[in-house]
Amino acid sequence: MTSRRADRNTAREAGQDTGKEMARESVMETGKDAGREPDREESGAPPRTKAASRTGTAEAELQDSRARASLALDGQGRAKVETGSGFLDHMLRALARTSGLDLELKLSGSPLFLAEAAGQALGAALDASLGSRSDIRRYASASVPMDEALGTVALDLSGRPYLVMQGCYAGERIADLEVRQIRALLESLADAGRLTLNVKFEGENDHHMAESFFKALGLALGEAVEGRAGGILSTKGLI
């Protein structure tokens, strides 16, 4: 009798220990679940999607002048530029740096239409990177002084190409670049990029004047492509 009672007590204690262990494990698992955020499938929420890459690549060819450009709107202001003109390379690097956009541009062929080809390739790459032009600020302006010079740029990523350029250079060349090439570049940039571009500059030193408005263009462009909620900034609903 004593042996059977001892066996029953032992079995009862073993059952109690097993029940306690199972309850402890249940509590631990419940605690883990309570601290774990349910995944999106369990919660019924749609899966997360990566933001679309705002980049564009384009090529342009005029006579024997060829250009290839790549643009990343969400960049760090890096530039890899080979135009054949040291001064134009300098201006485009300044534009990229102040805008925060990453820019690559390579030109080849005859120098006669290189600036115009560069503007076309850059504008087309900008147009491609903007997509539907939804959720951007669209409008922007900036002024940049450089010693005695002042450059001011106002722009609208409107889908309507137009260039206004006001200012006078003292000479016909700045370093290794004819000043007429600068207007050709900006005009083709506005056409291919489908933007309204208003450029004004004043001063005494041609280099300073050009650099001031290239930097102002970079600042304005960087601001205009910044993200904003609300879709397309137009009462028509499209650009």
Dump pLDDT digits (tens) for 150-189. Answer: 999 999 999 999 999 999 999 999 999 999 999 999 999 9
List the CATH number of the domain containing 193: 3.30.230.40
Q: Tens of pLDDT along 93-132?
A: 999 999 999 999 999 998 889 999 999 999 999 999 999 9
Q: Tell me, yes or no, whether 211 lies in a domain.
A: yes
Is residue 148's pLDDT more than 70?
A: yes
Residues 6+ apart with CB under 8 A from 138: 156, 157, 158, 224, 233, 234, 239
Q: Tell me, yes or no, whether 26 lies in a domain.
A: no
Q: Tell me, yes or no, whether 216 lies in a domain.
A: yes
d(CA 222, CA 141): 10
Q: Tens of pLDDT along 196-229?
A: 999 999 999 999 999 999 999 999 999 999 987 7
Which spans in 100-225 are helix H?
Answer: 114-130, 179-193, 206-224
d(CA 94, CA 55): 20
Whether 158 contacts 148, CB under 8 Å: no
Q: Tell me, yes or no, whether 9 lies in a domain.
A: no
Across the chain, what does the average pLDDT equal?
85
Domain count, the chain: 1
**Per-residue confidence band for 33, with pLDDT thresholds at 50, 70 and 90:** very low
Residue 90's φ and ψ, nearest 5 degrees, are -60, -45
Structural domain of 127 = 55-224
